[in-house]
Amino acid sequence: MAEQAYDPLVDDYPAPSVLDPETYWASVAGPPPQDDGAIQEGVEVDVAVIGGGYAGLSAALSLARDYGIRAIVLEARSVAWGCSGRNGSFARISGGRMPIAKLIKVYGEEVGKAYFNEMLQALNGVRAIIREGEIDCDVQPDGVYKVAAFNAHVEALKRETDLYNDLVGYPARFVPKQGLAGIHHGAEAHGAMYFPDGFLNEPA
11 or 136: CB nearest ligand FAD = 11
Q: Is 127 in the site for ligand FAD (CB under 6 A)?
A: no
195 lies in the binding site for ligand FAD (CB under 6 A): no
- Is residue 82 near ligand FAD by the rule CB under 6 A? yes
Q: What share of the chain is helix, strand, coil (3-state, %, to 5)?
A: 35, 10, 50
In the bound complex, what is the minimum distance in angstroms from residue 84's beta carbon to ligand FAD?
A: 3
∠ Cα 15 16 19 (to 5°): 95
Binding flag, residue 76, ligand FAD (CB under 6 A)? yes
Q: Which of 118, 122, 57, 47 is nearest to 83 (CA)?
A: 57
Residues 6+ apart with CB under 8 A from 55: 84
CA angle 93-169-145, nearest 5°?
40
Taking CB under 6 A as the rule, does residue 48 contact ligand FAD? no
Whether the Cβ atoms of residue 192 and residue 180 lie closer than 8 Å to each other:
yes
The residue range among 54-62, 140-148, 158-166, 168-176 that interacts with ligand FAD, by the rule CB under 6 A, is 54-62
Residue 23 binds to ligand FAD (criterion: CB under 6 A):
no
Question: Does the protein bind ligand FAD through residue 56 (CB under 6 A)?
Answer: yes
Minimum CB separation from ligand FAD for residue 152, in Å? 26
Cβ-count burial of 119 within 10 angstroms (0-12 exposed, 13-18 middle, 19+ buried)?
middle
Piece in contact with ligand FAD (CB under 6 A), picked from 30-38, 52-60, 137-145, 186-194 = 52-60
Q: Which of 3, 11, 13, 136 binds ligand FAD (CB under 6 A)?
A: 13
Distance CA 49, CA 60 (A): 7
Q: Which residues bind ligand FAD (CB under 6 A)?
A: 13, 50-56, 74-77, 81-84, 86-90
